[in-house]
Structure 1
Amino acid sequence: MARFDSGGFRARLGRDIGGMPLWAGLLVLAIFAAAAMFFWKWPSPASSPAAAPTSGAGSALESPSPDASEPSPSATPTGPPPVALFIGDEITAGAAASDEDLSWTSIVATAQGWDAVVYGRGGTGYFTSAGEDECGRAYCPDYRGTIAEATLANVEPDVVVIAGGTHDEDAFYDHPRRVRNIIVLTYRAARTAFPDAQVIAVGPAWAEEDGNTDGHRKYARTVETAAEDVGGTYIDLYNTGVLEQTGIANAVGGGINDMGHQAIADAVDAALT
């Protein structure tokens, strides 16, 4: 087993170097060495991980805080409501409703969130024009002419609703082929004038059946086919009996009342839901 000479080692430690004992010099060297190791291992502020940019939420480089003036990404921008152009007769115009807000067009527009532009002309139809006694003007064109009026007025609808047709009854009875052609041309005109708009046809409805059941059914079918041919939606009021409910017609003067307007609005809303 190896042995250390403890006596000789103590003698060497007792020697002086420049007036300082050897052991004292060694102690100083050990202190300096320990200090050097301490500062070499301790990271500087510049190299500290806490000071380095990270990709986390606190990073000023990769994840800047949003500008308070910029809208939140989750916020949904809101624009103006869709414009709905209503074309039709006096019922479309709101005749016999006790208040403008109670007309079927107003009720539907409110329910659907539309901005309604109503071109309802009393006494008119797909084929039939009217004068001052019916519409309050010297001349009111048929529906195709009304579409042209709206175009000239720069109406830019997102939705086009064409309703009615009861005033074409006599003409359809006398000249069914001519009236059918005009109905077809009316929907083609709507599609040409407003190529991107949703087209909705609200079928005609007679509040009281007058014995012309077969003619009414054929007329309604003609409107349905013409609307669907241009990609439109047809809402049937005749075969569903919407206006056959008790109490929806005015007791004096005929036509529908507030209940009748509500009945039409309910049928249209249900079809669009």
Structure 2
Amino acid sequence: MPLWALTLVIVAGVVIAAFLSSGGASRGRIPQYTPPADAAVPTIPAPMPLAVFIGDSYTQGAGGGGVRWPTLVGEAHGWDVDNLGLGGTGYIRTSDANSCGRAYCGSYGQTIEEIIGSPTYIVVSGGRNDVGLPTADVAAAADALFGELRERYPNAMIFVMAPWFDDDPPPPSAGEFTQAIQAAALENQLIYLDSGQPLFGRPDLISEDGVHPNAAGYQALAAAVTGVLDPQLAH
């Protein structure tokens, strides 16, 4: 190799070595992104409190055309609603496809087996289907249900609504019946809520079947529930 060619090779090697040592080879790498110090840190929204509603066709929303008072109450309070209402059921009464849409629908005590997760709130609302049964039997079933709920969910706020009736006067036995449910609720340290009878004397709030609330009726029930519920939530 001529001397001049050897000199060029040596010089080229020196230049390349200097280039590499200066970091020139890093130019082909993808630079790492470093966020500015004041950049906002993304946050994950906290899950909504779970609220479980147990009850009959009024809780299920029959006759409302898709409007349900538990849904309205849940939306107003930012709750994730699990509606376990089943038509024709009660503290003792069970039902079938003609009322609840299933081959068999259990009593409230059996329905609690369908609760999934750890609810923050539980609302039991119903009882009208049990009217006419021995009050002592209904009271015993209510006591067993409330005790089971309190044992399973010691940290939940559990509410029991006084039974509702339609636009007609409540049956004569309703007073004694309602008092028995109230006593069972208080005995098990649950919160008893009596919103009165929002549908009484209001045929305009009843659907064409003459029994269940219509959309406006469910809105009235939701307003009545909120009126007695909010003071308890504020404690």
Please report the TM-score for the alignment, with normalisation by the length of structure 1. Answer: 0.65
Q: Does 1:125 align with 2:84?
A: no
8 Å contact kept, 2:143–2:188: no
Q: Secondary structure at the match of 1:243?
A: coil
Displacement after TM superposition at 1:200 (Å): 0.8
One-letter identity of the residue aligned with 2:132: D
1:254 match: secondary structure:
coil
In structure 2, what is the Cα distance between the partners aligned to 1:124 and 1:111?
27
Displacement after TM superposition at 1:111 (Å): 0.7
**Greater RCO, 1 or 2 (C-alpha within 8 Å, sep 6+):** 2
User: In the alignment, which residue of structure 2 is the partner of 1:111?
Assistant: 76
How far apart are residue 134 of structure 1 and its match? 1.3
The alpha-carbon distance between structure 1 residues 137 and 241, as it changes in their structure 2 partners (threshold 3 A), is closer
Cα distance in structure 1, aligned partners of 2:198 and 2:123: 18
Percent identical across equivalent pairs?
29
Q: CA RMSD in A?
A: 2.2
Question: Between Structure 1 and Structure 2, whose CA radius of gyration is higher?
Answer: 1
**Is 1:189 equivalent to 2:148 in the alignment?**
yes
> Helix, strand or coil for the counterpart of 2:155?
coil
Match for residue 223 of structure 2?
266
Question: 1:210, CA displacement in angstroms?
Answer: 5.4
Q: Is the 8 A contact 2:93 2:106 kept in 1?
A: yes
Cα offset, 1:266, TM superposition? 0.5
Aligned residues: 194
Deviation at 1:71, TM superposition (A): 5.7
SS, match of residue 199 in structure 2:
helix
Question: 2:23 — aligned with what?
Answer: none
- AA aligned opposite 1:220: T
Structure 2 unpaired stretches of 5+: 1-35, 231-235
Shift of 1:181: 0.6
Partner of 1:225: 183
Q: Which runs of 4+ in 1 moved over 4 A?
A: 66-72
Aligned-partner SS, 1:120: coil
Aligned-partner Cα distance in 2 for 1:137–1:197: 29
Q: Structure 1: 5+ residue runs without aligned partners?
A: 1-65
Report how far residue 179 of structure 1 moved.
1.4
Q: CA deviation at 1:259?
A: 1.7
Q: What is the match of residue 155 of structure 1?
A: 117
> What is the CA distance between 1:70 and its match in structure 2?
8.3
Q: CA deviation at 1:228?
A: 2.2
Checking the alignment, whether the CA contact within 8 Å between 2:64 and 2:215 is kept in structure 1 is yes
The one-letter code sitting in structure 1 at the alignment partner of 2:199 is: L
Displacement after TM superposition at 1:262 (Å):
1.0
Q: Return the match for 2:110 from 145, 169, 173.
A: 145
Which TM-score applies when normalising by structure 2? Answer: 0.75
* Matching residue of 1:241: 197
Alignment partner of 1:212 out of 171, 185, 202: 171
What does residue range 3-152 of structure 1 map to in structure 2 within 5 Å? 68=38, 78-99=45-66, 102-150=67-115
Distance (whole Å) between structure 1 residues aligned to residue 187 and residue 152 of structure 2? 16
Q: Which shows bigger deviation, 240-249 or 124-133?
A: 240-249
Whole-angstrom CA distance in 2 between matches of 1:79 and 1:226: 35
Instruction: Measure the CA separation in 1 of the matches of 2:56 and 2:222.
Output: 15
Superposed CA deviations along residues 206-229 of structure 1, whole A, max 9, x for unmatched, are 11445733x101111222222222
